[in-house]
């Protein structure tokens, strides 16, 4: 396995953190290059105001994860801030990002729905890259497997019920591949569908379906009884996506982008 940290001089770098930074950067770069397609000035991408959705996304992602693993963090509250050790919940990250861009749109007097359409592919791209961090930190993997692409998980990272197994489904890579495929589909659709909010709606619909499927290969996610919370959230997000799509296509206030 790739080590989770490395040192240059007296400074210790965490691969997980570097991957998150890379995911954020390429998402930002993609959105900046596509901004003119939505009549949004590229200048806003050099404005410090974009720190707002960045911070809100990271806080939302961390909050979701901490609530998910509260039985662990409640024993040592200080570990809540140890983000470099891994632990970001994508659903919380999406919610935080949407809230952050809502604030930016209001401050800058920009139409909110085209902003969401613009950032949707960037979110998928960032999610795909970010899943590599799960591989580095040996988290988010699936059940044991004998398949040749199964990944080795260190004994201290294995769930107690699977302590005698060494190779597990690389669920993080499954989702990364699905995200990459959905990214291509979303970019193609974006060239033909110009109703504000439509691309973001497709993003919610596509991702919720893919996450619902990949969740069957996760063994470490939040559950209530026999129900996985991620399945519940994916269903809710799917319904929200359908609602936004219908609104986008039928609203009298919805205009084609030109």
For the annotated binding site, the residues are 131
Judge contact between 141 and 222, C-beta under 8 A.
no
Q: How many CB atoms lie within 10 A of CB 171?
A: 24
CA distance linking residue 218 with residue 171, whole number of Å: 7
124 token code pair: 């998928």
CA 60 to chain centre: 11
Phi-psi region of 25 (alpha: psi -120 to 50; beta: other; left: phi over 0): alpha
5 token code pair: 């940290």
Name the burial class of residue 228, with classes exposed (0-12), middle (13-18) and buried (19+) by CB atoms within 10 angstroms of its CB: middle
CA distance linking residue 99 with residue 8, whole number of Å: 37
Judge contact between 210 and 176, C-beta under 8 A.
no
Q: Is the four-CA dihedral 62, 68, 74, 75 of positive or negative sign?
A: negative
The full DSSP string for 180-209 is: HHHHHHHHHHHTT--STTHHHHHHHHHHHH
């Amino acid at each position: 396995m790739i080590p989770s940290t490395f040192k240059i001089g007296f400074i210790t770098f965490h691969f997980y953190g570097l991957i998150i930074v890379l995911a954020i950067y390429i998402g930002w770069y993609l959105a900046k290059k596509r901004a003119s397609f939505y009549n949004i000035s590229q200048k806003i991408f050099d404005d410090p105001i974009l720190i707002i959705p960045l911070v809100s996304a990271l806080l939302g992602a961390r909050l979701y994860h901490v609530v998910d693993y509260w039985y662990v963090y409640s024993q040592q509250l200080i570990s809540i801030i140890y983000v470099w050790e891994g632990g970001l919940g994508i659903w919380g990250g999406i919610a935080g990002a949407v809230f952050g861009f809502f604030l930016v749109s209001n401050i800058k007097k920009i139409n909110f729905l085209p902003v969401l359409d613009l950032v949707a592919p960037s979110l998928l791209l960032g999610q795909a890259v970010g899943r590599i961090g799960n591989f580095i930190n040996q988290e988010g993997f699936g059940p044991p497997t004998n398949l040749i692409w199964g990944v080795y998980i260190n004994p201290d990272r294995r769930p107690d019920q699977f302590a005698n197994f060494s190779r597990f489904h690389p669920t993080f890579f499954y989702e990364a591949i699905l995200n990459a495929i959905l990214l291509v589909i979303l970019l193609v659709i974006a060239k033909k569908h110009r109703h504000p909010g439509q691309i973001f709606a497709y993003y919610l619909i596509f991702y919720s379906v893919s996450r619902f499927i990949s969740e069957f290969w996760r063994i470490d996610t939040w559950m209530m009884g026999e129900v996985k919370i991620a399945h519940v959230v994916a269903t809710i997000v799917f319904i929200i996506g359908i609602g936004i799509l219908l609104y986008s296509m039928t609203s009298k206030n919805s205009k084609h982008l030109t």
